[in-house]
A and B are shown apart, each in its own frame.
Chain A
């Protein structure tokens, strides 16, 4: 089980949940499983080609996945994904 921690601004796309648990062996599978459970949320995270949008970051544990294997970054049971969007307001 992989834990995806959802920032407050995206919770309305995942039924208000603070975290969503999915079965996944890598980041791509985790996001697809999230989309399967909550259709529409993937478009908020990824562009049409399926890559993470450039103003959003996904961390596996304490590591930015861009500097790991990106969407192919392997996840173990108990891994935690954190989504960090660029927050525009001030």
Chain B
């Protein structure tokens, strides 16, 4: 049974948990220390006026159990921190960070990579949103993009600065979609980029995550290689030449055409003893392989 953990049950956590339940996930662990406040109701869709003052995890667990009879859902009324993150995340197939605590995203990112669990990190404030999914076994990750959390005075929260209600729904549900993709064999299409959501214009854009970061959390992605112009056997010749420029332990992110290249290149990499970390379709025409050089 697939188990997801949702950290934070606010503007993002409510639609993310709902989206995961809608996707047919088997088990949900909901983590949040707070109680429902009147000002939450505009965007935190699992709560009603009569719930004000009740623990968010209690209300959300009740609502989701009522709506999704096959779902096993439990709540933990705690704040995720460095001390309890491993215990909360262990056993999960995917973790979705929906907190308003920028430090939490770094903890979830780092512990997810340490335990080999894929994570989906989201943020939303005023009219801006972002979503970033990290494979449990390789970068690039959140720390490749942002080296440190913003200082407290810069990190205004939605309750203080305001947030566009429907933007929370878009970003939270996009987090649920990415989490579903990560646990259902579509990781190749979910990772390697950050999605920015412009709530004013309604525009969504994917930007590749940086390479060669020497990231302390994931080790970084050493290089990218686009072999879509080539056919076999040039696809593998190009791949081997690129791998030879890497040190053992470094990773290469390769995009190729679907069909013969996507059948042959991963098999050849495995035959030579390398670790194939991600292997799957990106879209109708393109296939992506992330490989770690072993020898």
Contact = CB atoms under 8 A, between A and B. Distances in A.
A55 B130 CA distance: 14
Contacts of A9: 125-128
B148 A87 contact: no
B123 A89 contact: yes
B149 A55 contact: yes
Interface residues of A, number: 23
Contacts of A55: 102, 146-151, 154
Given A8-B127, A9-B126, A84-B145, 9 more contacts: A18-B201, A67-B211, A85-B150, A88-B100, A88-B102, A88-B156, A89-B163, A90-B10, A90-B101
B150 A90 contact: no
A57 B145 contact: yes
Closest 10 CB pairs of A and B: A87-B123, A8-B127, A88-B155, A64-B210, A89-B125, A89-B158, A55-B150, A90-B100, A86-B146, A88-B102
9 contacts: A9-B125, A18-B200, A53-B150, A54-B148, A64-B209, A82-B207, A88-B123, A89-B157, A90-B13
B273 interface: no
A59 B205 CA distance: 13
B214 to A, nearest CB: 11
B128 A90 contact: no
A87 B124 contact: yes
B8 to A, nearest CB: 5
B198 interface: yes
B123 A90 contact: yes
Contact of B128 (A53, A63, A87): A87
B102 to A, nearest CB: 4
Interface residues of B, number: 48
Interface in A6-44: 7-9, 11, 18
B148 A90 contact: no
B75 interface: no
B199 A8 contact: yes
Contacts, number: 101
B122 interface: yes
B221 to A, nearest CB: 11
B46 interface: no
Nearest to B125: A89
A90 B124 contact: yes
Given A55-B149, A84-B130, A89 B213 contact: no
B119 interface: no
B11 interface: yes
A8 B157 contact: no
Contacts of B210: 63-64, 66-67
A88 B212 contact: no
A83 to B, nearest CB: 10
B286 to A, nearest CB: 16
B127 A86 contact: no
A48 interface: no
Nearest to B210: A64
Contacts of B194: 84
